[in-house]
Structure 1
Amino acid sequence: MKKLLLILLAITATFTVNAQIVTPQPSPFSKVEQKVGLTDVTLEYSRPSVRERTIFGDLVPYGKVWRTGANARTKITFSTDVTVDGQTLKAGTYAIFTKPEAEKWEVYFYSDYSGGGVPQEWDDTKVAAKTMAESHQIPFNVETFTIDINAITNNDARIEFIWEKTFVGVTFNVPTDDMVLANINDAMNGTPTANDYYAAAIYYLQEGKDIKQAKTWIDKAIAMAGDKVQFWQLRQQSLIYAKAGDKKGAIAAAKKSLTASEAAGNADYVKMNKDSLKEWGGM
C-alpha cells in the first residue's frame, strides 16, 4: 500500500512540475531586420491592438512619454554609427520612447534599453538623440501597432510608427558613402579584381560620381572578364558610356548585351537593351 501511495505521489509531482499552459500573448513580440546601405538595423518590439479602443489621446495620453509598444522596451540596434536630425547615434542598441501629440511626436533614442515601460526616473543624460516628427492621419484603421523601416536608399531610411489612424516617420542617415569609398580605395590600392572594378564602376554610376572614372573601371572589368563577360555587365557598360556622353560606345555595348541576353533567354534585358538602343538611335 505504501509503495502504491509513493508511486501516485511521484506521478502527481511529475504532472505538477511539467504541466504548463501556453497561451497567446495579447501583444505579440515582433522582430524586424533590415539592411540600409551597409548598416544592419534591427527592431524588437511588442504589438498591442486597438480592440475597439481609442488609442491616441486616450489609451496613449497626449503629452506623456510612451514606451512605444507594449511589454519590454522597444529596442533598435544599429551596426554602424547613424545620424538622426543631425545628431550622431553611435553603433549599438537604444530604447525608443515617444511623446505623442495630436499633430507631432517627440521621439527619443534612450541609451538604457533594458527593462519594461518608461523609466521611473527619466534621465536626460541617457537621451542619445531626439527629434520632432509630424503626426499624419491616414484614411484607414491599422488594428495592430506597427513599426517598420521604409523609404530605403543607400544613404538613409525612415522608421515608421503606424497605429489606429496615425502615421509618424523618423528619417535616419547611414554612412554608406564613406564606407564604400574607403572600401574602393583599399581595393584599388591593392590588387583589384574584375569584380572590384565592376562594383566600383556601378557605385559611381548609381551615386552620380565621376563618370569618367566609372568608365575606366568598367572597361577594365569587361576586359578582365574576357569571353566570360555577362549580358548584365555589358548592359551596365552601355549605361556608363551613355552617361559619359559616348553614345557610339553605348550603342556598341548595348548591342553586345542584347545579343547575349537573347541567347540567355532573358526577356527583361532584351527589352531594356532594345529600349535603350531606340532611345540612342541604335535601331
Structure 2
Amino acid sequence: MKKTLLTALALFCFIAGAMSQINTPQPSPAGSVYSKVGLTDVTIDYFRPKVKGRKIFGEGKDYLQPYGETWRTGANSGSKLTLSTDAVIADTKVPAGEYLIFTVPGKDSWNFMLYSDLSIGGNVSAYDKKNEVLNISVKPTSLSQTVETLTFNIADISEDNTSANIQLSWDDVSIKVPVKVEFDEVVMKDIAANTKVNPSNYIAAANYYYNTDKDLNQALEWVNMYLAEGENSKQFWNVHLKAQILAKLGKKKEAIETAKKSMEAAKAFPQGDFGYIKRNEDLIASLK
C-alpha cells in the first residue's frame, strides 16, 4: 500500500511539473510575413536570430555563417516559403506548395535554394540535392545600417501585381529573389463563369478589361449592360469608368458627355463625391 502511494505521489509530481512550465521569450523568436501577389498567397514563416555583437557573414570559422557553407536561413527549424499557386522564381517554375529555404552566403554571390522535404527542418547535414526544387545565384547588396534581427519581406510588388521580390536582410547584407505570378487565365475563366450567374460582375469584368488593355469594345458592352440595370446609372464612379473606356477607344465626344454625367451625379450625391468631380474634370481636360 505504501509503495502504491509513493508511486502515485511521484506520478502526480511529474504531471504537475510538466504542467507548470515557465514561458520565457525565445532567443530567436518566430516570425511570419505574408502578401498576396496577384492572386497568389506568398507566406514566409521563420525564426529570427539577432546579431548580438557577433560577426555574421564572412570568410572563415570566426564568422557565425562562413561563406560557402549551407545555411538553414534562420534559427531553430529554419525558414519555410508557402505558395498558394504556381509561381516563377528567377525564371524557374515552382509548383504551389511548401518549401524550406536554404542559402549559401558568399562575398559576391549567394545561392538561394528551395527544398521540398520539410521533415529535415533546419538540419543542413540531411540536405539531399534530389529534393532541391530551386537553386539560383543572386547578388548580395551591402547595407549602410545594420539589421539587428533577421528580416524577410515580400517587397517591390509591381504596379500590375505580376511580380515581387523575396527580400532577406540581416547584419549588413540584403538579397532579393524575383518572383513572378500569372493570373490572367484564372480571371478570364472567372469572368466567363460568374457574369452568367451574377450580372453585377459585368462591372468587375469591364474594369479588368480596361486596366489590362483587353477588348475595350467588350468592356464598353459590359459596362453598358451593368449601368442599364435598375438604378446603376446613378453610380457615378462606374459612369466614370465608362467615360474612361470611351476615351481609350478614341471616342472623345462621347467620353466628355459621359464624364459630365458622372460629374453631375457626383455633385448631387449626399455622401460626397469621393474625388470623382476632380477625376472627371481631369479626364475632360485631357480630351480637349
TM-score, normalised to structure 2, is: 0.85
Secondary structure at the residue paired with 1:70?
A: coil
Change (3 A) 1:53 1:253: farther
Secondary structure at the residue paired with 1:266?
A: coil
| 1:111 equivalent in structure 2 | 116
| 1:16 equivalent in structure 2 | 17
Identity %: 40
| 1:77 equivalent in structure 2 | 82
| 1:144 equivalent in structure 2 | 149
Alignment of 1:60-75 (within 5 A): 60-75=65-80
- Tell me which moved more, 255-264 or 85-94: 255-264
Contact 1:247 / 1:280 at 8 angstroms: preserved in 2? yes
Contact 1:27 / 1:46 at 8 angstroms: preserved in 2? yes
221, 239, 242: which is aligned to 1:237?
A: 242
| 1:54 equivalent in structure 2 | 55
198, 207, 218: which is aligned to 1:193?
A: 198
Q: Amino acid of the residue matched to residue 258 of structure 2?
A: A
Q: Which residues of structure 1 form unaligned runs of 5+?
A: none
| 1:41 equivalent in structure 2 | 42
90, 95, 99: which is aligned to 2:104?
A: 99
Q: Which residues of structure 2 form unaligned runs of 5+?
A: none
| 2:140 equivalent in structure 1 | 135
Change (3 A) 1:119 1:244: same
User: How far off its partner does 1:275 sit?
Assistant: 2.1
| 2:253 equivalent in structure 1 | 248
181, 189, 196: which is aligned to 1:182?
A: 189
Q: Amino acid of the residue matched to residue 185 of structure 2?
A: D
Matched, 1:172 2:179: yes
CA displacement, residues 140-182 of structure 1 (integer Å, 9 cap, x when unaligned): 2221111111222422221111112222111112221121122
CA displacement, residues 33-78 of structure 1 (integer Å, 9 cap, x when unaligned): 2211111222110111112222221222111111111111211111
Q: Amino acid of the residue matched to residue 139 of structure 2?
A: E
Contact 2:113 / 2:135 at 8 angstroms: preserved in 1? yes
CA displacement, residues 254-274 of structure 1 (integer Å, 9 cap, x when unaligned): 222222333231342232222
User: How far off its partner does 1:278 sit?
Assistant: 2.3
Contact 2:104 / 2:111 at 8 angstroms: preserved in 1? yes
Q: 1:138 and 1:109 mapped to 2: Cα distance?
A: 25
Q: 1:109 and 1:36 mapped to 2: Cα distance?
A: 19
| 1:89 equivalent in structure 2 | 94
Contact 2:70 / 2:124 at 8 angstroms: preserved in 1? no
| 1:158 equivalent in structure 2 | 165
| 2:213 equivalent in structure 1 | 208
Change (3 A) 1:54 1:238: farther
256, 260, 279: which is aligned to 2:286?
A: 279
Secondary structure at the residue paired with 1:137?
A: strand
User: How far off its partner does 1:110 sit?
Assistant: 0.6
User: How far off its partner does 1:227 sit?
Assistant: 4.2
Change (3 A) 1:157 1:197: same
Contact 1:73 / 1:115 at 8 angstroms: preserved in 2? no
Q: 2:189 and 2:135 mapped to 1: Cα distance?
A: 30
CA displacement, residues 185-229 of structure 1 (integer Å, 9 cap, x when unaligned): 3345xx253332211111112122222222222222222354464
Q: 1:103 and 1:225 mapped to 2: Cα distance?
A: 63
TM-score, normalised to structure 1, is: 0.87
